Amino acid sequence: MKLYTCPICSQPLSLQESTLKCGQGHSFDVSRKGYVNLVPAQNRNSKAPGDNPDMIAARSRFLKQGHYQVLRDALRAIIDSQAEQETLADLGCGDGYFTVGMASPKREVYGTDVSKAAIATACRQSSEINWAVASTMNLPLSDHSFDIATIVMAPISEDIQRILIDGGNLIRVTPGAKHLWEFKNLIYEQPRPHKAPNKNLSGFKLAAEERVQSQVELDQASRTDLLAMTPMSYRTERTRAKRALVSESLPLTVEFTIDVFEKT
């Protein structure tokens, strides 16, 4: 936990028994589950920011079925190919599925998400990772301290540049054009392909890009979880949602773009 900073005054936090404290006297208790909440009450837009417990539970069940294993494996391969990558921050980490996949005994890993429910779930996946409830827009992490920052289908912020070392890598995962296309065809009258993300990020240069695609089979339970874990759950008419859950099995395209940026 040595790379945490105070979300109020930005001073370094140090662990004293089960509390993180800064020089200004601000303190944050480490929960019994092992995570720390670094979103001060005055900075919350709601009582429970981020994804709610039902969405997190659905996503966790879905991911445990291995539907996105191809992405998890690709991320691990990219990160392991980088020499001397000792510190990694997975930002917007959700339930920690991909974070755990990127972890290594040689690597100090931090996982952050603004959803308390997400981080509470992530703690159950690994006690070796530093987990924190934190906003990606105002990261409570030390300046120039991380070799790698990862963003897996989560919002990106300019604050990421600050926490990376010079020459450090930002690895961003976004949905490919045809990601979940068969499912979207069932629930939307006019489904649209995902737009290509901006490759020009201030303070970074694009070093590599990779497209990952696979075909998976979804049973009814997995389709129910897929609907519940994404914004599709409240953008879809009830009748169309029911139609997407009728068949026994659905072949589905999963497609991702992995962009590796180098901090300049």
pLDDT (tens place) for every residue of the chain, 264 residues total: 799 999 999 999 999 989 999 999 999 999 999 999 999 877 666 666 788 999 999 999 999 999 999 999 999 999 999 866 799 999 999 999 999 999 998 899 999 999 999 999 999 999 999 999 999 989 999 999 999 999 999 989 999 999 999 999 999 999 999 999 999 988 888 889 999 999 999 999 999 999 999 999 999 999 999 989 987 755 565 556 666 676 678 899 999 999 999 999
Place of tokens 């900073």: 5
164 within 8 A of 144, measured Cβ to Cβ: yes
Out of 1.10.287.3510, 3.40.50.970, 3.40.50.150, 3.10.20.30, the CATH code matching 14-263 is: 3.40.50.150
What stretches of 90-176 show up as alpha helix (H) in DSSP?
A: 97-102, 116-123, 159-163
Contacts 24+ apart (CB under 8 A), 15-21: none
Q: Residue 240 and residue 170: Cα distance in Å, rounded?
A: 38
Dihedral sign from CA coordinates of 76, 82, 86, 89: negative
Collapsed DSSP state (helix, strand, coil) of residue 4:
strand
Phi, psi at 236, each rounded to 5° = -110, 135
The number of CA neighbours under 13 Å toward the Cβ of 73 is 9
Residue type, 105: P
Q: Give the pairing of strands 27-29 and 36-37.
A: unpaired
What are the tokens at 188?
A: 């939307």
* The model's pTM: 0.92
Q: With 0-12 CB in 10 A as exposed, 13-18 as middle and 19+ as buried, what is 1?
A: middle
Task: Give the model's pLDDT for residue 46.
Answer: 65
What does 32-62 look like in DSSP terms, one character per residue?
TTS-EE---GGG-SSSS-SS-HHHHHHHHHH
The closest of 141, 212, 143, 214 to 171, measured between CA atoms, is 212
Phi and psi based region of residue 193 (left: phi greater than 0; alpha: psi -120 to 50; beta: remaining): beta
Neighbours of 46 (CB within 10 A): 6
